[in-house]
Every structure is written in C-alpha cells, then in structure tokens.
Structure 1
Amino acid sequence: MAKVTYYAVLPFIRNDEGDLVSGEAAEAPSAGAAKSRAAAAIGKYAGAIAFSRAGDPSLGDFEDAVVLARYGETPDDVALE
C-alpha cells in the first residue's frame, strides 16, 4: 500500500488535580480541517493540538507525528503516537 497521511485533533482537559490530560484523538479529512477543529475546541477543552502522521498502514510503518498547530493550553512534551 502507498504512503498515506492522516490528520487528527487531540484535545486536552484539566483533571481534578489540575493536570492537563489528553482526550480521545479525532481524525480530520485535511490539515486545514484539523486546525479548524482544534481551534474550535477551545471553550469545550483547555486546549487542542492539530497534527499529522504519515506512513504505510499495511506495514504498520509510520513516521513521527508533526504538530500543525496548538491552541489553548497544551503540554510541551506530548507524545503523539
């Protein structure tokens, strides 16, 4: 299978202790859509990251994720796997 690029949004909330924790990532159809959805998440979430990840799903071989945009409060050390 050919290399494909996936786009996603990862929201963050504050837990009862006040720490930022990630929610469930949601796929988006394009980079622009991922950025728009991440920006729109502010107000419902503390913050959100729009990111992309490219690779060959048939081989399970993926490159590191690329952060496209950050909105609101997001951790600097988030692992996007």
Structure 2
Amino acid sequence: MLTYFVVQSFRLTSKGAITPGEAVEVQDVEHALRLAEKLAASSAGVVAFSRTGDPSTGEFEDAVVLYANGVVPVLEPELAIAC
C-alpha cells in the first residue's frame, strides 16, 4: 500500500469559472500543508489531500482532505484523483 500526497490549486477565469491548476505530488503531509498554505495566498482555492492504495491493482481508498481554502470544487469519491 502506498500513500500519495497531492496539492491542487484552482483559479477563476475572467468569466468567473473555476479551473484547476497543475496538481503537484509531494513527499509527505507536512510538505503538502506547507505548499497548500503558500498557494492559498495566490489562488482562488487550494486543496491538499492524500490517497492510499495499491497501484498494481488500482484499488484506492477515498481521498482524505488535509487542507482546503477558498473556492474548491466538490471532490467526487468515484473520481480517480492524481493516480
């Protein structure tokens, strides 16, 4: 079992739509929290989360939100995120 830590930022377009920035995989929860807090200052929204699972089988647990700030779309449990 592996745990992935991901930070995803979001921005608002000129028409007010929310669009994702680049998802960044980091090494651990502390790095995820530091990066998320840094990006929060310059993004419409940011979320840091982890996913644990087995890449060889493709079976992953639901994402665990570690940090969320600003405008963040709802994360759908069925949606494959960052893996």
TM-score bracket for this pair, using the shorter chain length: 0.7 to 0.9
The total of aligned residue pairs comes to: 78
TM-score normalised over the length of structure 2: 0.82
Query: Within 5 Å, which residues of 2 pair with 1:2-13?
Result: 3-13=1-11
Deviates more, 1:20-29 or 1:50-59: 20-29
Please, which of 28, 43, 46 is the counterpart of residue 44 of structure 2? 46
Structure 2: which 5+ runs fail to align?
Answer: none
Please, which of 5, 11, 14 is the counterpart of residue 12 of structure 2? 14
Detail structure 1 runs of 4+ shifted over 4 Å in the superposition.
none
Q: Could you tell me which amino acid in structure 2 is paired with residue 78 of structure 1?
A: L
Structure 1: which 5+ runs fail to align?
Answer: none
Percent sequence identity is 41
The yes-or-no answer on 1:61 pairing with 2:35 is no
